[in-house]
Amino acid sequence: MAKQYKKVLTIQDISCVGQCSLTVALPILSACGHETAIIPTAVLSTHTAFSGFTFTDLSEDIPEILRHWHEQGITFDAMYTGYLGSTRHIVYVKNILEHMSAEGCLRIVDPAMGDNGMLYPGFDQEYVDAMIELCRAGDLILPNITEACMMTGCEYRETYDEAYIEELLCALEHIGLTRVVLTGVSYNPETTGIIVRKNSVTKYYKHEKMARSCHGTGDVYASSFVGALLCGKTELEAAKIAGDYTLACMKNTQDDPDHWYGVKFEPVLGQLIEMLK
């Protein structure tokens, strides 16, 4: 049996079109060599940046799925949660993290709820408060700066220095969130990077910054980070692999202005696999 073959449960919505959430997480985790299992929380016709998207809540199915899994003795090596959709989902998912993880199960929460200083459509303070509770139920969280600000009440800034980021990390620590991988930390226009914070020790991986940002990069980043971590990489190594892979996806998309809704991550999966060797 391969040593790093892990069974990972990912809990997110299905956006039928738009290259985010499950349509990104599953191929990336598979490319990293892991077995995947899912709980889809909702079905949307597209992600929420398209206008007029449909939304069907699947949360009522969750208790029955869990009952059956419990009966079958099904467990996981890791759980990774992303975009959920409603406060009710968060409450269900928190229950899963708290009561369905076997000994040694690593619980990673991406509090996917906003970007560029704003919450995604349909989310409010109640959702943010529930997300804080979900993050507390996890072992490691993957917020961007917007999400960290929303959860701590810190002011969102477009430009900032290391002191501001330290303040943000301390504010997260203050609400009990001590193992944090903070994405999109950019101190100048040419570079961006990822902060890895554990037990009050901060490490930073910096890489080239693209001129334009792209939809869906948060999910590409989170999925490749989780995949690399489960391959036995350290948090900083996984952050570097995920950052480099996300950058490769953006470069692979930048010459196609029609592809505004996601990144073309599939043709460069080979690069991710190489980085994991």
- Contacts with ligand PXL by CB under 6 A lie at 13, 15, 20-21, 44, 47-49, 82-83, 112, 120, 218-219
Total residue length of the chain: 277
**CB nearer ligand PXL, residue 1 or residue 108:** 108
Q: Considering beta carbons, is residue 113 or 276 the nearer one to ligand PXL?
A: 113
Closest to ligand PXL by CB, 55 vs 160, is: 55
| CA–CA separation, 135 and 114 (whole Å) | 15
Cβ distance to ligand PXL smaller for residue 75 or 87? 87
C-beta of 16 vs 70, nearer to ligand PXL: 16
- Give 56 or 234: the residue with its C-beta nearer to ligand PXL: 56
- For the chain, the three-class secondary structure string (H helix, E strand, C coil) is CCCCCCEEEEEEEEEEECCCCHHHHHHHHHHCCCEEEEEEEEEEEECCCCCCCCEEECHHHHHHHHHHHHHHCCCCCEEEECCCCCHHHHHHHHHHHHHCCCCCCEEEECCCCEECCEECCCCCHHHHHHHHHHHHHCCEECCEHHHHHHHHCCCCCCCCCHHHHHHHHHHHHHCCCCCEEEECCCCECCEEEEEEEECCEEEEEEEECCCCCCCCHHHHHHHHHHHHHHCCCCHHHHHHHHHHHHHHHHHCCCCCCCCCCCCCCHHHHHHHHHHCC
User: Residue 96 CB, nearest distance to ligand PXL (Å)?
Assistant: 18
Task: State which residue, 53 or 164, has the beta carbon closest to ligand PXL.
Answer: 53
The least distance separating ligand PXL from the CB of residue 218, rounded to whole angstroms, comes to: 5
Cβ 214 vs Cβ 262: under 8 Å? yes
From CA 96, how far away is CA 66, in angstroms rounded?
A: 8
**Closest approach of ligand PXL to the CB of residue 119, in Å:** 10
